[in-house]
Structure formats: structure tokens, C-alpha cells
Amino acid sequence: MARTAVLGLPRVGPDRELKFALEAFWAGRDDAEALEATARELRRAGWEQAAAAGIDVVPSGDFSFYDQMLDTAWALGVVDGETLEDYFAHARGTATRPPLEMTKWFDTNYHYLVPELRADQPFALRAEHWTGPLREAAALGLMTRPVVIGPYTFLRLSKGTKPPLSALVPVYAELLRELAAAGATEVQLDEPGLALDDVPAAEYAEAFAELTRAPIDLCLATYFAPADPVVFTLPAAELHLDLVRAPQQLGAALRAVTGRLSLGVIDGRNVWAADLDVALERIDAAVAALGTDRVTVAPSCSLLHVPYSAARETGLDAEIRPWLAFRDEKLAELRTLAAALDGDRDALLAPARAVVSARRTSGHTNDPAVRGRAGGLSPADYARSAPFPERHAAQRARVPLPELPTTTIGSFPQTPEIRAARRDLKAGTLAPEAYERFLRAQIAEVVSHQEQVGLDVLVHGEPERNDMVEYFGEQLDGFAFSRFGWVQSYGSRCVKPPILYGDVSRPQPMTVRWWQHAQSLTEKPMKGMLTGPVTILQWSFVRDDQPRGETCTQLALAIQDEVRDLEAAGAFAIQVDEAALREGLPLRRADQDAYVRWAVDAFRLTVATARPDTQIHTHMCYSEFNEMMEHIVRLDADVLSIEASRSDMEVLDAFAGELDYPNEIGPGLYDIHSPRIPSVEELERLLELAERRVGRERLWVNPDCGLKTRGWAEVRPALTHLVAAAQRRRAAV
Ligand code: GLN
Ligand code: ZN
């Protein structure tokens, strides 16, 4: 019989129990025992539910109080400490010690803590991180498979002067022996790092061979991209491949593997009910080549990245809900696939087939107006009607700005009152009209602050948004919002991504009335503020029945409508934020070019209809542009603002280099990540450094993004200093 397996389970709890238990513990409201009890209960529920769903191989050791990379560092003795407090100190920092750096786990929206290694890094094993849960499950009558981040992935995702891979082999070998002694017959070695470019194949093969000496079956798991071919040559008891992201690897795997093959055929990264016929085609091929006993049916990756139960989402449109599959539904899909191998296929697959065909033919996924508009696009639709020098002249003629014009990136402090008002609106205790009035008053305050501070181009402050995407998703057709669809972002933090299920269009203006109100309060130009198509795409669960690039084009056209309406209302400057453009980069270099092409095209399409004398701004919150410059140039925004304060303006070198970025640029001068208020002198010095690199004519003066995370007590003086610094520089020759 083919078996079913799960690589990892969501752990925050169906009602975010872990989040609340962590917060209670951190605030001192609950003790460690209470937190442990919640964790035990979440683990038990996860295991038992997976087993009850008919999953043969249930994972353990994948649970974490904060993050699996931190856990691995802790269990290998790379970070020190004894207590739970010590553990959290690495994640959250203390008064005297900063936390570990945090970054994205591959191309997911999950963030891990980055261990820092030394060349002569000592290791000291705490095997109980894995043997503990293994025994805990055994006490419940469940045999589980421990999940361990493999040595290559651990090393590759760490920073510092790293030791060679061979230096990690002894501690991993010891762990494997301990797991075997504790009763495990197999272990899942997670090596998504082997699906990246530049894998040191020979070195890995050597390390792996060494590990196979332990008396336990090694199940090597890769996911998120095609695995390096070295995996096909390794003596693994089982090899897991992500056949959702990279189905093309199946043929090579079938010819090469000597052990079991685990087929990742159910998408662990997305929320859609699977086309089981497609999955079965792959499983059938594997069974034909290897025999059922050597086939495992699994999700593509851990289910950490999906919510718990679509069945609970009774508030969703009844037509759309059956299209969704969260953890529970995916477990059921795995069971159906295994049953279909030797059962009555047509009967077993009938419900899933009905869902797939209903979705394919639904009016929601086939809006003729949207399809017609996207289908009729030609290259000219992706370009502004005049080149930058002409636009620049037209813009300066329309609105004369001083040298070194000052502005901000859009948001202003999201005060407790703003958050409370939004909460009350959602709870129904604040009437929509009262909320609207409240926001208008907030905007008036933000405008008056900016006038007093003396900024040149103002913003309305974004009080109506809690993040960059939800506000737009709520107003666009083609999006749905779940009630319980939380997924872990980092530690106790969860996000509830919008679900982009259908053809996207914008029934009516989304931001124009806020802009009009704000502009009516000032003579200064008021910048319109929109989130770009790539960022909306990147932070949503996106339909999987057409290429992402096509969905992005639809989003671009919807936002273009808003650009047009803002312009018609009189907006001189419109900013289209693409905070997530870079984070959408595919993991493998071979796929990156195609992505950047359609992503940049989507931005160009969004703003292409703007008149030459309308100033288009964009913002990107990162500072590594070197390999991206050619694409950044192709965005052709009139003004680009970037994160820069922490690099002492060195990031501007990329803009002054060979390519000589031709348009205007605003490096963030004030690091909003810190509560510190920079002095005028300090800002003036940064500005001088910036001028030296790109020249005063092209420079804007602005802070980094994220003023919404700070308080007014910091923002006001910081911006006052910023304006003063700009004034001093203008006066300097
Ligand atoms: N306009 C947004 C803001 O100022 C941009 C946020 C971002 O880029 N992350 O908050
Ligand atoms: Zn930003």
C-alpha cells in the first residue's frame, strides 16, 4: 500500500491559542507550566487529528514556541541558555542583548531567526527537543516521525563565518542515534536548502553518507523548488519532492531513486482544493515505476503555511467555500488519493472533480469584461506617453517644488485611538458614518502636522488601513476574507492573507474621497497613496488556476483605474508602493528573469495612463538593488523612495554607477526602526553624502517607510529636523 505522510503541521492553534499563551507568558500573566500545557494540547490535537484523518506518517518535533530555526540552534547548542526565558531572549532580545536577526523562510511569508555561527563553532546536543515530543506522542499511542532541519539547510540559512558542513556531521549523527534509541524508526531530514542554486553536491553527498550509518531511516525532504540532482544519488530511505512547484523532477526521480519516493502533490503553500486527477497521474506514474510500497503521498511542504479548517469559514460565499482546502481538507485529500489507488476511482473523485469544474466555469473566475481588457493589451499600454525628461519638465511647470523637496512615504502613527476605532467598527459598536467622521478628523490632524513641520508634498496618513493590502482587497472584486484563516508570520505574530479567488476588478474608487478631503485642507500638493499589484499579489493567497503574472495584470488594471480617478480628481502626485517586488523573486536564478519581467510590466501598466505632468512615485522598502538596477530603471517611476538610513547612503552607489539611474530618488534619511530622534546635523550629513553620490537635482528628502509604527512624540521632531536639514542643504553651495 502507498502510505500518506505530512511533513509538518500548523502549530499556532485553530484560534491562535499559542499566540495568546505566549503573550500571557511574556506579560507575566501565566507561568511556564501554563504555556507548556497549551503547547502539549496543541501538539496532541494536531497528531490525533492527522491520525484520525488517516495519515500514516505523522510528524513530531515540528512544533515550536517561536521558530524552528531557533529551535534547531538551541538543540544543537549554537545558542545558550537553560530556561524558557533564555530561549525567548534569543528571539525577542533583552535590555542588554539584541534579538537574533530575522528573515524570510525561503519565499514564504514565514520569518525565521538567523543563527550566527563561528568558524570553530562548538555544538552540544539537546536531543530532548525531538525525543521529548516523540515520547509524548508515543504515550498517546502514536508513532511519529521526527522532523529535523538538515545540516546543509541549517548551515546555509545561518550567518557568520561558517564552519564546513563536515563539522556538523558528528552532532547530527549523535542526534540520529538518540532518536533511534528513543524508538524512532525513521526521521525526516528537511533540506529545502538543496532546492536552491549552488549546492555543494559532493560535499553534501559525503556528509549524507556519513549520516546513513545511524540505525534509523533517513527521509530526505526538499521543497519549494526543484531539488539539486545530487539528491537522486543519495542513499536515502525516502526522498520527498515538491511536485506542485516542480513537477518536472518526477521523471528523473523515478529513474534514479533506490528507496521510497514521497510525492508532494498537495499544495502546502496555498489554500485551493486540489485537482486530484492531476495528482493521481503523478502517483500512478510513480506506482508503475516503483510499486505501491515505495510510494508516499504527501503535501508539497509542511502545512505550517496554511490555516486549519476551511469548513469553519461559513461566512464565505457558498459558491467559493468548496474551492478552498486548509489543513483539514488537505488531510482528507491525501486520504482520498491513497484510497483511489485501489478503490472505485470515479466514485471517490466525484466530489473533487465537481469542485474543480465548478470553479473553472464559475462567473467569478471568468469575468468577460476583465478578460477582454487584459486580452486586448498591447506593448504601448505599458508605457507613459512621454519620456522622463519631458515628464519632469511638465511636472515642474505644473507644481514648482524647491530643490531637495521633502515628503514622507505615506503612513503616519497608527495611534491606539485609530486601532480602537477600527476594532469598534468591525465589532459593530461604531457606526460606519461615525468611523468615517473619525477618519476625516484624523486626516485633518495629519495634514496640519505636516503643514506645521513644513513638508513640501503631503500625504493623508493612511488611517483607514491596517496594512497595505487588506483595505484594497476588501474593495476589489475577486477577493474574499476568511474569519479564522490565520497563518504564522513569526513567533506569536500571525497574518490573515486575503484570498484572491477570481477575476479582479475595481467596482468603484477606493481612496479618492480620502485624498479629496486631505487636499481640500491644504494648498500643498497631496500625494495619492496606493499599493501596487505585485505587493497585493505577494501578500495574498492567490488563485492557482492561471499563471500569477496574469492575475497580476488584472490587479494592475484595477489599480490603474484608481490612478486615473485620483488624477481626474486633481492629484498631482500619486505613489504606487511596491514593497514586496523584490521578495517575490523566485528561489532559483533560472526563474527570476521571467518574474521580474512581468512584475515590472505590471507596475508600468498600473501607471501608464498617467499624464506626463502627473508625478508617479513608488517606494521599495529594502536597500539591496545591485542586481536589480536594470529592472528598477525599467519601472520608470518619476520618483523612487528606498530604505537607506542604515547603510550610510551607500545604497545610492547602485544609482550612481554605470547605469546612472536617470529619474528622481528619495533615500530614507530617518531610520524609523529605532525610537531615536536623529539630529539636524546628522540628517544634513546623510543628505550631503547622498548629494555627493547622485547629485542634488535628482534628490528627494524623506524618512524610511513605516512612520505608522512610531508615535507622534518621535515623528514630529524627527520630521522637523528632516525639513531643517533640507533647508540647510538648500542654502549650502
Ligand atoms: N505607504 C506605506 C507606509 O508608509 C508603505 C509601507 C511599506 O512600504 N512597507 O506605511
Ligand atoms: Zn517600505
Q: How far is CA 732 from CA 684, 688, 725, in A?
A: 11, 10, 11
Q: Which three cell numbers stand for residue 561?
A: 483605474
Q: Considering the domain boundaries, does residue 490 fall inside one?
A: no
Query: Within 10 A of 101 (CB to CB), how many other CB atoms are there?
Result: 11
Query: Containing H/E element for 556?
Result: helix 548-568
* CA of 621, closest atom in ligand 1: 8
- 239 plus 348 within the same structural domain: yes
Length of the chain, please?
733
Q: Which of 408, 446, 462, 583 to mutate to test the pocket of ligand 1 (most atoms within 8 A of CB)?
A: 462
Q: How far apart are CA 733 and CA 613, in angstroms?
A: 29
Rg (CA), the chain: 27
Residue 330 binned pLDDT confidence (cut-offs 50, 70, 90): very high
Q: Considering the domain boundaries, does residue 656 fall inside one?
A: yes
Binding-site entries: 16-19, 104, 109, 409-411, 462, 493-494, 539, 577, 583, 619, 621, 643, 705
* Prediction ipTM score: 0.97
Q: How confident is the model over 388-417, as pLDDT tens digits?
A: 999 999 999 999 999 999 999 999 999 999
Binding-site entries for L-methionine: 409-411, 462, 577
Q: Which parts of 278-417 are beta strand (E)?
A: 295-299
Gap from CA of 623 to ligand 1 centroid (Å): 15
* CA of 579, closest atom in ligand 1: 8
- Residue from 44, 156, 160, 141 nearest 106 by CA: 156
Q: What is the residue type of 353?
A: R
Residue 231 binned pLDDT confidence (cut-offs 50, 70, 90): very high
Q: How far apart are CA 284 and CA 265, in angstroms?
A: 12
Distance of CA 40 to the CA centre of its chain: 28
Q: Considering the domain boundaries, does residue 101 fall inside one?
A: no
- Residue from 356, 357, 364 nearest 275 by CA: 356
Query: Within 10 A of 325 (CB to CB), how many other CB atoms are there?
Result: 24
- Residue from 708, 629, 700 nearest 672 by CA: 708
Q: How far is CA 107 from CA 46, 419, 539, 580, 587, in A?
A: 25, 30, 11, 11, 7
Q: Which residues are catalytic?
A: 673
Q: How far apart are CA 528 and CA 565, in angstroms?
A: 10
Nearest residue by C-alpha to atom 2 in ligand 1: 410
* Contact between residue 131 and residue 182 where contact means Cβ atoms under 8 Å apart: yes
Gap from CA of 691 to ligand 2 centroid (Å): 22
- 403 plus 315 within the same structural domain: no
Q: Considering the domain boundaries, does residue 157 fall inside one?
A: yes
Gap from CA of 261 to ligand 2 centroid (Å): 42
Considering every ligand atom shown, identify the ligand nearest to the alpha carbon of residue 531 and give its number.
1
Q: Considering the domain boundaries, does residue 119 fall inside one?
A: no
Considering every ligand atom shown, identify the ligand nearest to the alpha carbon of residue 623 and give its number.
2
- Residue from 148, 154, 209 nearest 175 by CA: 148
* Contact between residue 392 and residue 398 where contact means Cβ atoms under 8 Å apart: no
Ligand 1 proximal residues by C-beta, below 6 Å: 409-411, 468, 529, 577, 579, 619, 621, 705-706, 708
Q: How confident is the model over 517-571, as pLDDT tens digits?
A: 999 999 999 999 999 999 999 999 999 999 999 999 999 999 999 999 999 999 9
- 644 plus 592 within the same structural domain: yes
Q: Considering the domain boundaries, does residue 198 fall inside one?
A: yes
Nearest residue by C-alpha to atom 9 in ligand 1: 579
SS3 label, residue 693: helix
Tell me how many domains the chain contains: 2
* Contact between residue 410 and residue 575 where contact means Cβ atoms under 8 Å apart: yes
Mean pLDDT of the chain, nearest integer: 96
Binding-site entries for L-homocysteine: 409-411, 462, 577
The predicted structure's pLDDT at residue 375: 97
SS3 label, residue 388: helix
The domain that holds 338 is classified in CATH as: 3.20.20.210
Longest C-alpha distance within the chain, in Å? 83
Q: In this model, does residue 621 exceed pLDDT 90?
A: no
- 327 plus 462 within the same structural domain: no
The pLDDT > 70 percentage for the chain reads: 100
Distance of CA 137 to the CA centre of its chain: 32
Q: Which of 465, 577, 617, 640 to mutate to test the pocket of ligand 1 (most atoms within 8 A of CB)?
A: 577
* Contact between residue 529 and residue 578 where contact means Cβ atoms under 8 Å apart: no
* CA of 409, closest atom in ligand 1: 4
- 598 plus 715 within the same structural domain: yes
Residue 343 binned pLDDT confidence (cut-offs 50, 70, 90): very high
Q: How confident is the model over 648-679, as pLDDT tens digits?
A: 898 898 888 666 788 999 999 998 888 889 99
- 339 plus 459 within the same structural domain: no
Gap from CA of 619 to ligand 1 centroid (Å): 8
- 53 plus 10 within the same structural domain: yes
Considering every ligand atom shown, identify the ligand nearest to the alpha carbon of residue 575 and give its number.
1
- 157 plus 230 within the same structural domain: yes
User: What range does the domain containing 344 cover?
Assistant: 3-62+127-361
Choose the final residue of a domain: 361, 377, 404: 361
Gap from CA of 414 to ligand 2 centroid (Å): 16
Query: Within 10 A of 147 (CB to CB), how many other CB atoms are there?
Result: 24
Q: How far is CA 451 from CA 402, 457, 713, in A?
A: 15, 10, 16
Mean pLDDT of 308-314: 98
Nearest residue by C-alpha to atom 8 in ligand 1: 579
SS3 label, residue 16: coil
Binding-site entries for 5-methyltetrahydropteroyltri-L-glutamate: 16-19, 104, 109, 493-494, 539, 583
pTM: 0.96
Strand order in the sheet with 615-620: 527-531, 573-577, 615-620, 639-642, 664-667
The predicted structure's pLDDT at residue 659: 65
Q: How far is CA 51 from CA 46, 267, 679, in A?
A: 9, 20, 60
Gap from CA of 669 to ligand 2 centroid (Å): 13
Residue 624 binned pLDDT confidence (cut-offs 50, 70, 90): confident
DSSP string of 587-610, one letter each residue:
SSHHHHHHHHHHHHHHHHHHHTTS
The predicted structure's pLDDT at residue 527: 98
Q: What is the residue type of 47?
A: W
Considering every ligand atom shown, identify the ligand nearest to the alpha carbon of residue 408 and give its number.
1
Q: How confident is the model over 65-81, as pLDDT tens digits?
A: 999 999 999 999 999 99
- 299 plus 259 within the same structural domain: yes
Q: How far apart are CA 384 and CA 607, in angstroms?
A: 7
Q: Residues 6 or more apart from 334 whose CB is under 8 A from it?
A: 4, 6, 53, 54, 55, 266, 297, 298, 299
| CA-based torsion, 475, 478, 483, 484: positive or negative | negative
Considering every ligand atom shown, identify the ligand nearest to the alpha carbon of residue 709 and give its number.
1
- 338 plus 458 within the same structural domain: no
Nearest residue by C-alpha to atom 1 in ligand 1: 410
Gap from CA of 586 to ligand 2 centroid (Å): 20
Q: Residues 6 or more apart from 558 whose CB is under 8 A from it?
A: 476, 504, 505, 506, 533
* Contact between residue 44 and residue 9 where contact means Cβ atoms under 8 Å apart: no
**Regarding predicted confidence, which is higher, 121 or 628?**
121
The predicted structure's pLDDT at residue 658: 62
Q: Considering the domain boundaries, does residue 121 fall inside one?
A: no
Mean pLDDT of 691-704: 94
The predicted structure's pLDDT at residue 626: 77
Binding-site entries for Zn(2+): 619, 621, 643, 705
**Regarding predicted confidence, which is higher, 567 or 624?**
567
Q: Considering the domain boundaries, does residue 483 fall inside one?
A: no
- 301 plus 168 within the same structural domain: yes
- 283 plus 248 within the same structural domain: yes
